[in-house]
Amino acid sequence: MRPIRARVPAPVSSGQELATLEVEVSGSTGERIELVFHGVHKTAESRVLRISLVGDDARPFVAGDLFTYGEGPPMGRHPRERFAPMELILDVTRLLDRLAGTRRLSVRLDILDTHERPVDRESLSLEGVELRAAPAS
């Protein structure tokens, strides 16, 4: 599978679509498939990022959870280093088998606190999303 990328030009709030990927999901290929979130900005408080994928039939499937650990408000002399963007990776191999035949894959985000309560007043900033075959281990 060749990598498929989408930019995320603006911060995304809970319940919104992060990106749409034009891809033909063929089902099991024997490869591990990852959804990679590039340039994720750190959060002031710890958050659960619940990622869902939506195929052509518009049914959302939870792909899994990613986590950010609260960094507190920027302060001190080196806030850039402390708040440097990170890369988060989610294995979506099994879920893509359920979405075989899909040609347009939407990636959705729900932001939750550490008690899994929805956080509606916050948004997440990131550079982009990529669907790729995992590197050989």
Highest mean pLDDT: which of 1-10, 66-75, 103-112? Answer: 103-112
Q: What percent of the chain has pLDDT over 90?
A: 58
What average pLDDT does this structure show over 44-49?
92
The pLDDT, as a whole number, for residue 82 is: 59
Q: What is the mean pLDDT of the chain?
A: 88
Judge whether 38 and 125 are in contact, CB under 8 Å.
no
Asked whether the predicted pLDDT for residue 9 surpasses 70, the reply is yes
The pLDDT, as a whole number, for residue 58 is: 84
Q: Mapping DSSP to helix (H, G, I), strand (E, B) and coil, where does residue 137 land?
A: coil
The pLDDT, as a whole number, for residue 81 is: 56
Nearest Cα neighbor of 61 from 32, 24, 100 is: 100
Instruction: Please give the residue that has the higher pLDDT: either 80 or 94.
Output: 94
Instruction: Quote the CA–CA distance of 100 and 85 in Å, as a whole number.
Output: 32
The pLDDT, as a whole number, for residue 25 is: 79
Q: What percent of the chain has pLDDT over 70?
A: 87
Confidence class for position 8, pLDDT limits 50, 70, 90: very high
Instruction: Quote the CA–CA distance of 124 and 2 in Å, as a whole number.
Output: 27
Structural domains of the chain sorted by starting position, each given as residue range(s) with its CATH number in brackets: 20-130 (2.60.40)
What average pLDDT does this structure show over 75-92?
75
Q: What is the pTM of this model?
A: 0.87
